Amino acid sequence: MPITEHDWHLGGAPPKIGLHSLAKHQVYEEYLQHYIRVLSLNPNITTFPLVLIDSFSGGGVYTDPRDNSLYPGSPLRLLKAAKVGEAQTNLDRKQRGIYTLFTLQAEFFFIEKKPSNHEYLKWYLSGQGFASRFDKDLFLLKGEFTKWLDEIIQHIEKRGRNRRCLFFLDQYGYKDVPFNKIRAIFSRLPHAEIILTLPRTLPSTTYRLQKMNSDGGNRSNVLVYHKSISTKFKKKKRTIKDWRQVIQFGLHHDIWSQSGAQFYTPFFIASEESNRSYWLVHLSNHEKARDVMTELHWDLKNHFSHYGGPGLWMFGYDPRKVSSVTGQIDLFSGIEYSFDGAAKDRTRQTILEQLPKLIYEFPDGIPYRELYRQVANTTPATSKHIKEVATLLLQMKELEVRGPNNERRCIRIEKNDILRCTQQTIM
């Protein structure tokens, strides 16, 4: 089914929302709330500056086809989620006996290229009580995201280039954001994060990645896969699972080589209300951000799945040792994994087998934080999952763990502790 853009007109009813977008909006809301809570755990943080950029905002409200009620779009949902995140942080602090008030200092940029949609968004948010904030901490920009991007980056840089910022790029506008723009975001804003979506089918994803590579970058790896396996699909009947697996492998290489992001999650998102589905990709330069998003995947287990293995190397190979995945793996050997309890058990068991082999490669030991950085992009596991397995190996005396001052650990592992295999493990 082709992807179509929505149109809003003042005086008319808002368009119907595609049911596949419901899960996406839930991810947006819950990630933002979780993001705020995680980054405000330090009780000494009293104010937290944050910039949120919704790059393709639409008219701000839809008709819900399930009951014909009004369904708020991403702008209002982000505004409310930020408020909820701030309130939850203060409630958490109160429950911990901390009475230092936390204040979120958020700025919002809502961008829409169609004039009629832009006017509708302005009208809708005014009716929701936000007109007094226009051009103060809430900016409604008319035009294409790529045309506004440099000005937005400059706005953030003037307030400090280390300011936290989240970019939301939805599946309708994604084809208009080439990789050079994404690289510019990460090179100029080191604490930026990007959440983008891609269509579910291989041909559509190939087209989108070709558009993103139009700035002269390398040809999409998904396109390479598409051409190399086309005859296999003709000879054998392949399921939609096969297509999704091909896309996930291709995404892994494309994002690594083209986006400039150090960390990412290329997982598949499905809607319980619709047979439409797509890829939700999270990009960042910090392993903690990647970990927070992966935690959300496990929390929203009914929405997410992936097509690799359950352990440290879900793509079937160690990317530290292979320069290109093309031709190195069997693209049709995997199965679909969800993020449910059974998947968690399989993940832990596989990591239990793989982790000693990885740590053995570092005879002088490796800090736990660096260990997680080594595997973050290739595992569906969270840092907590890996630490639980490492702690079990410590208690089994298969690992030796030392603190920063060379103190021996016996029970727990901290992020800066050094892990190494014991002589027992080596033998």
pLDDT in tens, the chain (427 residues): 445 678 999 999 999 998 878 888 988 999 999 999 999 999 999 999 999 999 999 999 999 999 999 999 999 999 999 999 999 999 999 999 999 999 999 999 999 999 999 999 999 999 999 999 999 999 999 999 999 999 999 999 999 888 999 999 875 544 567 888 999 999 999 999 999 887 655 444 454 455 555 555 554 444 444 444 444 444 444 555 555 556 556 666 677 678 889 998 877 776 555 455 677 889 999 999 999 988 887 887 656 555 556 678 664 434 444 433 333 333 334 455 667 778 888 889 999 999 999 999 999 999 999 999 999 988 888 999 999 999 999 999 999 999 989 999 988 899 899 999 986 555 4
To the question of domain 345-426 being in CATH 1.10.10.10, the answer is yes
Token reading at 254 = 């494309």
CB 201 within 8 A of CB 243: yes
For the chain, give every residue range classified as CATH 1.10.10.10.
345-426
- Alpha helices in 96-144, H assignment, sequence order: 115-127
Q: Which SS3 state, helix, strand or coil, does residue 211 take?
A: helix
- pLDDT tens, residue by residue, 236-265: 445 555 555 565 566 666 776 788 899 988
Write the burial class of residue 93 (CB in 10 Å: 0-12 exposed, 13-18 middle, 19+ buried).
middle
DSSP 174: G
Identify the CA nearest to 223 among candidates 234, 209, 241.
209
Cα distance between residue 417 and residue 402, in whole Å? 6
Identify the CA nearest to 48 among candidates 36, 57, 60, 66.
36
Cα distance between residue 330 and residue 249, in whole Å? 10
CB 274 within 8 A of CB 280: no
Side-chain half-sphere of 246: how many Cα atoms within 13 Å?
Answer: 26
Tokens 């160690």 belong to 318
Cα distance between residue 245 and residue 159, in whole Å? 42
CB 369 within 8 A of CB 415: yes
For the chain, give every residue range classified as CATH 3.40.50.
21-338
Token reading at 167 = 């970019």
- Which residues fall within 8 angstroms of residue 253, CB to CB, at 6 or more apart? 221, 324, 325, 326
- pLDDT tens, residue by residue, 292-301: 988 887 887 6
Q: Strand runs (DSSP E) across 100-205, as ranges?
A: 103-112, 138-142, 164-169, 192-199
One-letter amino acid of 11: G
Cα distance between residue 244 and residue 267, in whole Å? 10
Q: Strand runs (DSSP E) across 219-364, as ranges?
A: 263-270, 277-284, 304-306, 337-338
Q: Which CATH architecture has domain 21-338?
A: 3-Layer(aba) Sandwich (3.40)
